[in-house]
Chain A
């Protein structure tokens, strides 16, 4: 079984000029943790996830400091969260996206997901146009079905 047999072809996506606030609401509504960012021609521009929002809100130095010093959420984080309506997805999205083509086997996609630490991978054609998206659950479903058929 190949990726094309399990991927979702109806790809929900974001455009680069969507505000982060709108994008966050869309992620919540669709109950997904990330979506691909595409242009009007269906070309893949990047990947936007909840992680990108959290990384933006938290101070960049906090990892080095080790932990927060307050009992409540800091003022700066609250302020940044309040300004998400002014920031566009293009500013926070990851531009280096792991992709696969639709003829790749399920095990190969699973390997890529594990080694690259990603939950879902956009499936692209040779022109880098998105033709589908494959998530971990799709691979498991595909493997179960393959075993049943065997």
Chain B
């Protein structure tokens, strides 16, 4: 622990001195030093990450690297409020039995075969990750996988890994799938429609590739499940045990959530119609819906706020955004952006490759929000380079989501799913057991995105 701490202090101070010697101002060097300490803090001391961003932000203020007004601006409260609203809605859906209902729907699939089950859990994982966040989606997919694998007495690990990889892939499809989606939408000005037109189809193509790879990779395990299904007589007996009647509360909750999604999907047109600032409805719709939920369920309103909203994570995001904002505020990212532009010969396609692969490799080791928060001010500083920086934003989104597939610590969904597997089945997945399949899926899907960003005209 002490060794890690010494490495953290040495690298962050070293980067600060290096930046100062390279001609950056004292404030720029301080911002770089503090931000790198926070990044390494999340890497080495995950449970202390909030303490690191608290200390870092305080130091930024005390050293006058940033002022209070800018702290408020860079905290990106619009993104935090959006996430609060979505977490409350997910809490409502959970209380109403939505997730249990989804699990029962998966278990009740008619004429279930191993192949059908494998493909369906991957597709459902990806699509659910698009609608709710990836971490919520993976929890009840894992529940369904455990039920099926328990019933047919097969090892759930291959199916669980496949579902997680599909979830990470699917989370790039809309602005709702991953916190980085809404962060990028907020900072780039992309609308939900932009995501539906430019991210969703690419995500589907990547999902197809991922399912093909995974189906081949786990062919023996799927064959084993198929054999057991024939032996047990498919899931006919399982269907008879299931009892989750869709109650009135579930129907109303689905209606509330569905309407929220409809308004989010149409936000750009409604904003134009009502003359609202860009992304106003996108960012406030979950807040509006959760306000209605708190009136409808007023006895549980406090519970939704206190238990269902992950304040620990949101506070971490908020202060991390401030630290990334300090890089922009001091002009450190302008210097970095100029160097990057020079290095790439002012070529957007070349920069797209750099952003895609750095974010893919980076997010395989780091929390993707940390990485994207660092990249955003750099991309914003490149605005003079080209009339359209679109490919860079999309490269950041796909790299941030797909990189999470490469290692078992690459995304929160991986950590949550593997934690459940270890606790429930006492199965420990080794680093390399995940790495090779993760690299195959992550590498193939990122390559496909790279080709799409360079070739398809509407990304330019």
Tell me the A residues contacting B by CB distance below 8 Å: 59-62, 64-72, 74-76, 79
Contact = CB atoms under 8 A, between A and B. Distances in A.
Contacts of B98: 66
Contacts of B243: 69-71
Contact of A68 (B100, B136, B146): B100
A70 B147 CA distance: 10
A71 B424 CA distance: 21
B103 A70 contact: no
Interface in B131-158: 136, 139-140, 142-143, 146-147, 150-151
Contacts of B419: 60
B221 interface: no
Contacts of A76: 146-147, 150, 424
B242 A70 contact: yes
B99 A66 contact: yes
B17 to A, nearest CB: 42
Contacts of A74: 147, 150
A65 B241 CA distance: 18
A83 B100 CA distance: 26
Chain B interface size range: 20 to 34
A79 B147 CA distance: 13
Given A66-B97, A66-B98, A68-B100, A61 B244 contact: no
B71 interface: no
A59 to B, nearest CB: 6
Contact of B151 (A62, A66, A68, A75): A75
Given A69-B103, A69-B147, A69-B244, A59 B424 contact: yes
Interface in B67-108: 94-100, 103-104, 107
B429 interface: no
Given A66-B95, A69-B104, A71-B241, A61 B150 contact: no
Given A69-B104, A70-B242, 19 more contacts: A59-B420, A59-B424, A60-B419, A60-B420, A61-B139, A61-B142, A64-B139, A64-B140, A65-B99, A65-B139, A66-B95, A66-B97, A67-B97, A69-B242, A71-B241, A75-B150, A75-B151, A76-B147, A76-B150
Contact of A70 (B94, B241, B420): B241
Contacts of A64: 94, 99, 136, 139-140
Contact of B107 (A69, A71, A75): A69
Nearest to A64: B139
Contacts of A60: 419-420, 423-424
Contacts of B142: 61
Nearest to B244: A69
8 contacts: A61-B140, A64-B139, A65-B139, A66-B97, A67-B97, A69-B242, A75-B151, A76-B424
A59 B425 CA distance: 10
A84 B429 CA distance: 24
B143 A61 contact: yes
B178 to A, nearest CB: 18
A79 B425 CA distance: 11
Among A60, A64, A74, A76, max chain B CB count under 10 A is at A64
B298 to A, nearest CB: 20
A66 B136 CA distance: 12
A70 B93 CA distance: 19
A79 B241 CA distance: 17
Contacts of B143: 59, 61-62, 65
A126 B419 CA distance: 38
A60 B150 CA distance: 15
Contacts of B97: 66-67
A70 B139 CA distance: 18
- Across the A-B interface, give the 4 residue pairs with the lowest CB-CB distance, nearest first: A69-B104, A71-B243, A64-B139, A67-B100
Among A59, A66, A67, A72, max chain B CB count under 10 A is at A66
A62 B104 CA distance: 13
A149 to B, nearest CB: 42
Contacts of B140: 61, 64-65
A72 B238 CA distance: 11
B242 A66 contact: no
Contacts of A65: 94, 99-100, 103, 139-140, 143
Contacts of B241: 70-72
Among A61, A62, A72, max chain B CB count under 10 A is at A61
A49 to B, nearest CB: 19
Among A59, A62, A65, A79, max chain B CB count under 10 A is at A65
Contacts of B244: 67, 69
A79 B142 CA distance: 18
Given A60-B423, A60-B424, A76-B424, A66 B150 contact: no
A135 B244 CA distance: 41
Contacts of A59: 143, 146, 420, 424
Nearest to B90: A64
B214 to A, nearest CB: 22
A75 B424 CA distance: 13
B109 to A, nearest CB: 13
Contacts of B103: 65, 69
A74 B238 CA distance: 11
Contacts of B146: 59, 76
A53 to B, nearest CB: 15
A26 B97 CA distance: 37
